[in-house]
Amino acid sequence: MVDTQNIILIGAMGVGKSTVGKRLAKKLAIDFYDSDQEIVKKTGVDIATIFEYEGEEGFRNREEKILQDLCKLEPIVLATGGGAILSKKTRELLTMSGTVFYLKASIETILNRAKNENSRPLLNTSDKRETISYLLKQRTPLYESVAHHTINTNRHTVN
């Protein structure tokens, strides 16, 4: 464990990082940041637009820079984007910058929670289940390698 008061939430889209993060920050009376929302604030455009014009690589570069800035703040609760852990540099940054909680959920739970959202570029596909399955297979070992703690959010509400 690291000697910092930051709480960092990682995991796939739809597992509850932002919802849990907001509630936790309020309860602890510290600031909450969502790295995706910070990217939107800084660029003035939504994530789908960044993906459209810069591709995933351009988005990941922006994400890495935002996370470097956010991890300097203490104490905070930080919700990362689902793919933040794809970069080795970012994985190292997160593990050194706070206590990392991996929030995980089943494909069914993620599909149910993300079904009405159009803001997730990686889900702009005809087979959302297959996409989520692929992303989880690719990313789960990375989430697990970074996490200090793992929480299954399948049957949990924020209350």
- Which pLDDT does position 157 carry in this prediction? 65
**Where residue 56 sits, what CATH number does that domain have?**
3.40.50.300
- Which pLDDT does position 4 carry in this prediction? 59
The domain tally of the chain equals: 1
66 belongs to a structural domain: yes
91 belongs to a structural domain: yes
* Structure tokens, 50: 């960044």
129 belongs to a structural domain: yes
1 belongs to a structural domain: no
- Which pLDDT does position 159 carry in this prediction? 57
DSSP classification of residue 98? S
Q: Is the Cβ–Cβ distance between 14 and 109 less than 8 Å? A: yes
157 belongs to a structural domain: no
Rounded average pLDDT per 10-residue block, the chain, 159 residues: 78 94 96 97 94 94 97 97 96 97 96 70 75 95 98 78
- Which pLDDT does position 122 carry in this prediction? 61
159 belongs to a structural domain: no
CA 105/CA 87 separation, integer angstroms: 22
Domain that holds residue 33: 7-152
How far does Cα 55 stand from its chain's mean position?
18
- Which pLDDT does position 20 carry in this prediction? 96
CA 6/CA 94 separation, integer angstroms: 10
2 belongs to a structural domain: no
